Amino acid sequence: MLIVVLYHTGFLIRGGFVGVDIFFAISGFVVATSIFGSDRNDSLQFLLYFFARRVKRLMPLFIVVNAITLVVSVFLLSPFGEIQQVAKASAASSFLVANFFFQSRDSYWNLIDHPLRHMWSLSAEEQFYLFFPISVITISRFFRTPQVRSRVWFIFLSLSLFTSLVICLYATKNSARLTLTKFGFFSSPTRAWEFLAGVISFEIHRNFRQKFSLSFSAFLSILGQLLLVWSVLNIRSEVGWPSWRCVPLILGICMLLISGSLNGFWNSLTRLKPLVWIGDRSYGWYLWHWPILVFGRIIFGESKSVVICLVSFSLILAIITKPLVEDRFRFSTFRIQYHSVRFILKAQAILVVLSCGIYALTFTGLGLQASATESGLGLTTQYELGGCYDEPVVLSDVLKFCTNVTDSKFLDVLLIGDSQAPSISDGVFSAGRKLGLVVAGVGLAGCPFAATTPLSGGDKCSGFQALYLDLILKLKPRIVIVAQRTDGYISQFEEWPQVAFPMQDGSIPRTIDEQRGSLLYSYKAAVSKISDLPLKVIIFAETRRVVMPPQTLFDEFTGNNSDNRISIVKQNNQIRDELLIDMKDEYKNIQNVLVVDASSELCNTELYCPAVVEGVLRYRDSFHLNSIGSASLQKFWINVLAR
* DSSP 3-state percent helix, strand, coil across the chain (nearest 5): 65, 5, 30
| 421 pLDDT above the threshold of 60 | yes
The set of residues, in sequence order, having a beta carbon less than 8 Å from that of 396 and lying 6+ positions away, is none
The domain segmentation of the chain, as residue ranges, is 2-362, 373-641
- Which one-letter DSSP state was computed for residue 371? G
Q: What secondary structure does DSSP assign to 574-630, as a single string?
A: HHHHHHHHHHHHHHTTSTTEEEEE-HHHH-SSSS---SEETTEE-EEETTEE-HHHH
Question: Is the CATH number of domain 373-641 3.90.850.10?
Answer: no
In the three-class reduction of DSSP (H, G, I as helix; E, B as strand; rest coil), residue 490 is classed as helix
Mean pLDDT over each residue of the chain, to the nearest integer: 84
pLDDT at position 108 = 42
pLDDT confidence tier of residue 80, bands split at 50, 70 and 90: confident
- Give the pLDDT mean for 200-214: 79
Counting residues of the chain whose pLDDT is more than 90, the rounded percentage is: 38
Q: Quick check: 182 and 175 in contact, CB under 8 A?
A: no
- Which one-letter DSSP state was computed for residue 559? T
- Of residues 260 and 203, more confidence is placed in 203
pLDDT confidence tier of residue 621, bands split at 50, 70 and 90: confident
Helix 119-142 and helix 146-173: axis angle, to 10°? 150
In the three-class reduction of DSSP (H, G, I as helix; E, B as strand; rest coil), residue 614 is classed as coil
- Of residues 216 and 10, more confidence is placed in 216
- Of residues 175 and 617, more confidence is placed in 617
pLDDT confidence tier of residue 333, bands split at 50, 70 and 90: low
- Give the pLDDT mean for 235-254: 80
pLDDT confidence tier of residue 42, bands split at 50, 70 and 90: low
For 106-177, where are the alpha helices, taking DSSP H only?
119-142, 146-173
For 16-97, where are the alpha helices, taking DSSP H only?
19-36, 43-76, 82-94
| 495 pLDDT above the threshold of 80 | no
pLDDT digits (tens, 9 = 90+) for 158-187: 999 999 999 998 888 765 556 777 888 889
| 338 pLDDT above the threshold of 80 | no
pLDDT at position 397 = 76
pLDDT confidence tier of residue 514, bands split at 50, 70 and 90: very high
Distance from chain centroid for Cα 257: 28
Looking from the CA of 414 toward its CB, the CA atoms found within 13 Å total 27
